[in-house]
Amino acid sequence: MTTLHPPAAAAPQLAPPPTRRDRRSWAGWGFLAPFVIVFALVFLAPIAYSLYLSLFRDRLIGGTTFVGLDNYTAALQDENFWASLGRVSLFLCVQVPVMLGIALLVALALDSGRLYGKSFFRISIFLPYAVPAVVATLMWGFMYGTRFGLVGDIDDAFGLSLPDPLSPGLVLASIGNIVTWEFVGYNMLIFYSALRVIPQSLYEAAEIDGAGQIRVITAIKLPAIRGALVIATIFSIIGSFQLFNEPSVLQKLAPNAITTDYTPNFYTYSLSFSGQQQNYSATVALVMGVITMVIAYVVQLRGMRKGA
C-alpha cells in the first residue's frame, strides 16, 4: 500500500526512443553475421539451388523447361529409387545392429579392466577407421576374388568351393562386412569414452551392494551411455542411407551384381553424371534427404524419451 512509486526519472528508460532499440537489434545481427553468412552460403544456398534445379527438366531435344513438381511425382513413382531405398533399409536393419553390438562388446571389454594389452587392442580395433574407405574397399575387393583373391586361395588350399562374395545374392552382405570392419573401431571409441566418464563411486557402491559384472553393465554402464548409443545409431542410420564409396568401388569388380542405382546416393550420382539428368538427380537427392531426416529424427525422439 505504501510502496513508493518508482522515481520519475526511471520512466523514460521504460520507453526508450525507437531509434535506440533499432540500433541495439542491429548490433545483435552484427555478432550473428559471421555465422549467418557462412551458414547461408554453405548450407542454405546449396539446398535452395537444388530446390530450384528440381523444378526444371533439361532434355537433349527441347532444352530446359519449367515442370513444376513433375520431378517429385516421378521420383515418388520411381521403382529404381524405391528399390535402392529398400536395399539400404535392409542394410540398415542388419548391418547397424551387428556393428554397434560388436562395438559395444569391445568397448565394455576394454572398460572392464580385465584385458591384457588394452591400449594395443584399442588402437588395432580403431585402426581400420583411419584407412580411407576407398582403399579399404579395394583391399577387401581383392580378398573377395574367387580366382586370384584370398577366397580363391582358400578354395585352392582346402579344395573348397566357397560361394562368390561378389555374386548378386551376397554382395550386400560383403559390403556390410567392409563397413562393419571400417566403423566398429569408431563406434567403439564413442562408447568407450562415454564409459570412462562414469564416476568410480557408482562402481564402488555397486560392489558394496554385491552386484556382479553383468548387473553393473545393465544397471550402471548401459543407462549411463544411452546418449552415446543414440548418437552412434543416428550416425549409422545416416551413414547407411548415404552408402556410396563401397558400392561404387566394388562395381568395377562386380559390374553385374552392383547396378548403377544400387543405393540412393549412387543412383543420384549415375543420373547426374551418366544420364545428364541433373534436375531429376537433385529431386531424388532432396527426397532422400527428407526421408533420412525424418527417420533420424524419429530415432532421436524415441531414444531421448526413454532416457528422460
Partner 1 sequence: MPKHSRRLLGGIGLLTALALGATACGGSGDGGSDAKKSVSAADVQAALKKGGTLTVWAWEPTLKQVAADFEKEHPGVKVDLVNAGTGNDQYKALQNAMSAKKGVPDVAQVEYYAMGQYALTKQLTDLKGFGADKLSASFSPGPWNGVKAGGDGIYGLPMDSGPMALFYNKKVFDKYKIKVPTTWDEYLAAARTLHTADPKAYITNDTGDAGFTTSMLWQAGSRPYKVDGTKVKIDFADAGAEKYTGTWQKLLDDKLLAPVTSWSDEWYKGLGDGTIATLAIGAWMPANLASGVKNAAGDWRVAPLPQWTAGAHASAENGGSALTLPELGKNEALAYAFVEYANAGKGVATRVQGGAFPATVAQLNSPAFQNTAFPYFGGQQANKIFAESAANVADDWSYLPYQVYANSIFNDTVGKAYVSHTKLADGLKTWQDASVKYGTEQGFTVEK
For residues 305 and 193, what is the distance between their CA atoms, to the nearest angstrom? 23
Residues near partner 1, by CB under 8 A? 25, 29, 36, 40-41, 44-45, 48-49, 52-53, 56, 59-64, 145, 147-148, 167-168, 252-253, 255-257, 259-261, 270, 273-277
Cβ of residue 277: shortest distance to partner 1, in angstroms? 8
Nearest to 238 by CA among 299, 194, 304, 172: 299
- Is the Cβ of residue 29 or residue 158 nearer to partner 1 in the bound state? 29
| Min CB(48)–partner 1 separation in Å | 4
- Select 124 or 167, whichever has its Cβ closest to partner 1: 167
User: Which residue, 232 or 285, has its beta carbon nearer to partner 1?
Assistant: 285
Beta carbon nearer to partner 1, 128 or 152: 152
State the nearest-atom distance from the C-beta of 257 to partner 1, in Å: 6
Pick 119 or 274: Cβ nearer partner 1:
274
CB 273 within 8 A of CB 165: no
Q: In angstroms, what is the minimal distance from the CB of 259 to partner 1?
A: 4
Chain length of the chain:
308
**Distance in Å, CB of 161 to partner 1, minimum:** 12
Distances (CA, A) of 98 to 70, 121, 133, 176, 184: 40, 19, 19, 9, 9
Tell me, what amino acid is at 41?
L
Give the largest CA-CA distance in the chain.
103
**Distance separating alpha carbons of residues 50 and 286, to the nearest angstrom:** 7
Q: Cell match 542394410: residue?
A: 91
